[in-house]
Amino acid sequence: MKTRFASISLALMTLMLSGCMVGPKYAKPTTPLAPAFKEQSPGTSQSDSEWKTATPSDGVIRSNWWEIFGDPQLNALEEQVTSANQNLKSAEARLREARAMIRFNRASLFPTISTAPSVSNERFSANQPYFPSSLANNGSGDFNLPFDLSYEVDLWGRVRRTVNASREETQATAADLQTASLSLHAELAFDYFELRSADAQKQLLDDTVKAYTDAVVLTQNRFEGGAAPKSDVAQAQTQLDAAQVQDTDVTVARAQFEHAIATLIGQPPAKFTLSAAPQTKVEIPSIPVGVPSTLLERRPDIAAGERRVAEANEQIGIARAAFFPTLMIGASAGFQGNTVTNWLNWPSRMWGVGPQLSETLFDAGRRRATSEATQANFDATVATYRQTALTAFQEVEDNLATLRILESEAEQQHRATASAEESLQLFTNRYQGGVDNYLQVITAQTIALANERNDIDIQRRRMDASVLLVKAVGGGWKVSQLPKL
CA 214/CA 236 separation, integer angstroms: 9
Instruction: Residue 417: give its domain's CATH number.
Output: 1.20.1600.10
Tell me how far apart the alpha carbons of residues 394 and 428 are, in angstroms, rounded to a whole number: 48
Cα–Cα distance for residue pair 344/259, rounded to 1 Å? 72
pLDDT at 436: 87
Is 69 part of a structural domain of the chain?
yes
* Inside any domain, residue 447: yes
pTM of the entire predicted model: 0.85
Examine the pLDDT at 376 and tell me if it is beyond 80: yes
List helix spans (H) across 296-365.
300-321
Residue 334: φ, ψ to 5° = 165, -155
Query: Per-residue pLDDT tens for 124-176?
Result: 666 666 555 555 555 667 888 899 999 999 999 999 999 999 999 999 999 99
**Residue 3's pLDDT is what?**
57
**DSSP state string for 131-142:** SSGGG--S-EEE
pLDDT digits (tens, 9 = 90+) for 244-253: 999 999 999 9
Residue 94 lies inside a defined structural domain of this protein:
no
pLDDT for 123: 67
Does residue 136 lie in a domain region? Answer: no
Q: Which of 17-31, 96-110, 242-256, 310-324 has the lowest mean pLDDT?
A: 17-31
Res. 17: pLDDT tops 60: no
Banded pLDDT at 50 (limits 50, 70, 90): very low
pLDDT (mean) for 174-179: 96
Question: Is it the case that residue 66 has pLDDT exceeding 60?
Answer: yes
Residue-level pLDDT at 14: 54
Query: Which helix or strand (DSSP H or E) is residue 351 part of?
Result: strand 349-358
State the average pLDDT over residues 34-49: 60
Q: What is the mean pLDDT of residues 411-429?
A: 95
Domain presence at residue 110:
no
Q: For strand 326-337 and strand 118-122, is the pairing parallel, antiparallel, or unpaired? A: unpaired
Give the pLDDT score at 269: 95
Residue 90 lies in a domain: no
Q: Name residue 443's amino acid.
A: T
Residues 261-267: what's their mean pLDDT? 96
Cα distance from N-terminal residue to C-terminal residue, the chain: 44
Q: Contact 180/95 with Cβ under 8 angstroms?
A: no
Q: What is the number of domains present in the chain?
A: 1
433/422 Cα distance (integer angstroms): 17
Q: Which of 154, 186, 163 is nearest to 78 (CA)?
A: 186
Range of the domain at 459: 19-84+172-323+368-481
Residue 386 falls inside a structural domain: yes
Report if residue 61 sits inside a domain: yes
